[in-house]
Amino acid sequence: MVERREDSGGEESRGFRPSGGAIAALIGVVLLLIFVFQNTQDVRLEFLAWDFTWPLWLLVIVSAVIGAFIWFGFGVLRRHRRRKERRAER
């Protein structure tokens, strides 16, 4: 339940309200944790010249972190490109 208070200016203010992206991220983390707790067996990985065994939960977490960094990196590049375009228009 969200509390509403009146400021001295007569305007109503609301408590903390998470954005849609924050809610989606929280749901994603919860689903990831459920998946991790259900998949605890070891798996054998072969990639190029490497061959090793990892717990499946660790592989999932590492993959999710790498994916998040890539996603974040593309967002940074897109913002940088937009800023350059705006500066060029001036």
**42-85 pLDDT tens trace:** 999 898 998 989 998 888 888 888 988 888 888 887 887 888 77
Domain residue limits, the chain: 42-90
| Residue 11 confidence (pLDDT) | 53
Per-residue pLDDT at 18: 83
Phi, psi of 6 (to 5 degrees): -100, 125
For 4, residues 6+ apart whose C-beta sits below 8 A from its C-beta are: 12, 13, 14
Given a contact cutoff of 8 angstroms between Cβ atoms, the answer to whether 44 and 56 are in contact is no
Cβ count within 10 A of residue 67? 10
The string of pLDDT tens digits covering residues 4-45 is 555 555 555 578 888 888 899 899 889 988 988 888 899 998
